[in-house]
Structure 1
């Protein structure tokens, strides 16, 4: 093999490795959640998401004291879909700062 053939093989290998890593990253971020909770506090929903996905949440426990209980019935939903259902008609917002950190505020 000459130099150009070796370089071509190395380039193809790098493209394949890059595609593989991007796919692994995307599938990790798009984890799916299944739950059926009725009249549950928001912190229970967040704990269930944490158990199923290993995502961490950052929030002040006192923020959710005045929250209405929530009903969440989802099957293979994304974390964003679950959070949307959880915070529907609630006086709270959430911000996704990183893949594994969520911050909640009034």
Structure 2
């Protein structure tokens, strides 16, 4: 007794066997294909919009920071507490750094870090 159904395999333009999803799409009427394409494009646009809104809300976050003569580890931990950002660093590299002073109001994390790096570079070049 055999339980196998030997269905004919549809072939593509180059003679390759077509997957079931492709065969299903070929059997649908044109208006349903157009509808499915519209649904897929709409879902893609909604997904892209969600990512853009998330990126802008994380980037647009402004914070005020007043940090005097502290270590870089503590500066990073203060920023981590106030924002969703996480810093990864090697503690051994940060042990030999000088104390840091940062005072900024309504600045983004990028502006805070850029200001800190500019001051650090100018201090290195002055020595």
Instruction: Normalising by structure 2, report the TM-score.
Output: 0.53
The root-mean-square deviation of aligned C-alpha atoms, in Å, is: 2.7
Structure number with the bigger relative contact order (C-alpha 8 A, sep ≥ 6) is: 1
Q: Give the corresponding residue for 2:57.
A: 28
Q: Deviations over 1:23-44 (max 9, x none)?
A: 4222233032221111111111
Q: Which has the higher helix share?
A: 2
Q: Give the corresponding residue for 1:76.
A: 106
Report SS of the residue matched to 2:87: strand
Alpha-carbon distance change, 89 to 66 in structure 1, aligned in 2, over 3 angstroms? farther
Task: Compute the displacement of 1:18 (Å).
Answer: 4.7
Q: Which has the higher strand share?
A: 1
2:89 aligned residue (59, 71, 79)? 59
- Report 1:1-106 matches (<5 A): 14=43, 17-18=46-47, 20-30=49-59, 31-90=61-120
User: Aligned pair count?
Assistant: 90
Q: Which runs of 5+ in 1 are unaligned?
A: 92-106
Q: Which runs of 5+ in 2 are unaligned?
A: 1-30, 122-127
Alpha-carbon distance change, 14 to 36 in structure 1, aligned in 2, over 3 angstroms? same
Asked whether the 8 Å contact 1:38–1:70 carries over to 2, the reply is yes
Q: Deviations over 1:3-48 (max 9, x none)?
A: 7xx78x8589558735641442222330322211111111111001
Instruction: Normalising by structure 1, report the TM-score.
Output: 0.61
